[in-house]
Structure 1
Amino acid sequence: MPDVALPQGALLGFDFGQARIGVALGNTEVAIAHPLETITGDSNDQRFARIGVLIQEWSPAALVVGLPTHADGTPHEMTRLARKFAQRLHGRFGLPVWLVDERHSSQVAEVQLNDAGLRGRRQKPALDQVAAQVILQSFLDMPQAAGIEPL
């Protein structure tokens, strides 16, 4: 990875999906991410309005977006859509955006929820925000090894 200054302070992490967007909150000082919420909405305007409220509330130094790929790292349609989402975040809010390899985030989130006693349909409301937590935590733990790239 090129020598790029990493953000310091609060961060919002996103697990982008076409129906739902998981959001997590973290801070570089304590290097811990927490699930925050799952955003739904009928339109992009509604979803971005909610993201705007979260940005106003938490004043993040940067945003972190999970970048999905096939298991071998090759891109697919959701890769393109997640990049587009990240570009829109950067364009609308003017914050630095980091893309993070998220190949196994949903599986890790599902295991964590199973371990917490949430299974099946009871997982659905929390799955996306816990996946966002996994994405953001990987960035906080070892940004140089998390497969990140600045937008």
Structure 2
Amino acid sequence: MNLDSKVILAFDFGLKHIGVAIGQEITNTAETFFSLEAKNGEPDWSKLDPLVKEWNPKPLCSRQPLNMDGSDSEIKKKSDKFSNLINKRYNIPVELMDERLTTREAKDRLKAEEDNSASSGRDTHQIAAQIILENWFSENR
């Protein structure tokens, strides 16, 4: 891994699954990576730890679940807990991104892939994480 490159990981937090996307700030590109199974929002750290060690991302991005009116959603406390845990565990800043409508957009992208017979094995969690990261790039250019 080139230490001059800036890798960013993004997470689409969920109670059962956490989508992960990886991006490169030099090219402003984001790609789906994989989904982690979670138990009540707690990831399998044994799968996440080596990933963070290998890629040394800075920063990490996580979703900020808000209602359409901007108020906190039901899952926000658990999502905030996840963001705080990864911040403390890896000592890497976590930037929260508004994720309203990312799941809907992810489902639309997945359906388009299926309609084009280009099924890639990706799921909505991974794609939502990719969208969160794409939005981060748009806001941080």
TM-score band (shorter)? 0.7 to 0.9
> In the TM superposition, what is the alpha-carbon distance from 1:123 to its structure 2 partner?
9.6
> In the TM superposition, what is the alpha-carbon distance from 1:42 to its structure 2 partner?
4.6
Q: Could you state the TM-score of these two structures normalised by the residue count of structure 1? A: 0.80
Distance 2:13 2:84 in 1: 12
3-state SS of paired residue (1:56): helix
Distance 1:124 1:66 in 2: 22
3-state SS of paired residue (1:33): strand
**Where does structure 1 lack aligned partners over 5 or more consecutive residues?**
1-7, 145-151
> 1:131: which partner in 2?
128
> 1:51: which partner in 2?
48
Structure 1 position 108 matched with structure 2 position 95 = no
Which amino acid counterpart does residue 80 of structure 2 have in structure 1? R
Structure 1 residues 27-63: Cα deviation after superposition (integer angstroms, max 9, x where no partner): 1110010000000145877522221121012111110
> In the TM superposition, what is the alpha-carbon distance from 1:76 to its structure 2 partner?
2.1
Contact 2:41 2:78 in 1 (8 A): no
3-state SS of paired residue (2:71): coil
RMSD over aligned CA atoms reads 2.4
Q: Could you state the TM-score of these two structures normalised by the residue count of structure 2? A: 0.86
3-state SS of paired residue (1:75): coil
- Among 60, 63, 70, the alignment partner of 1:66 is 63
Residue-pair matches, total: 135
Contact 1:113 1:123 in 2 (8 A): no
**Where does structure 2 lack aligned partners over 5 or more consecutive residues?**
none
> 1:28: which partner in 2?
25
Distance 2:88 2:40 in 1: 18
Structure 1 position 89 matched with structure 2 position 86 = yes
> 1:17: which partner in 2?
14
> 1:149: which partner in 2?
none
Q: Percent identity?
A: 28
Question: Relative to structure 1, is the Cα distance of residues 84 and 123 closer, same or farther in structure 2, using a 3 angstrom cutoff?
Answer: farther
More helix by share: 1
Distance 1:55 1:126 in 2: 21
Structure 1 residues 102-147: Cα deviation after superposition (integer angstroms, max 9, x where no partner): 01110111111111116xxx89961100000000110012238xxx
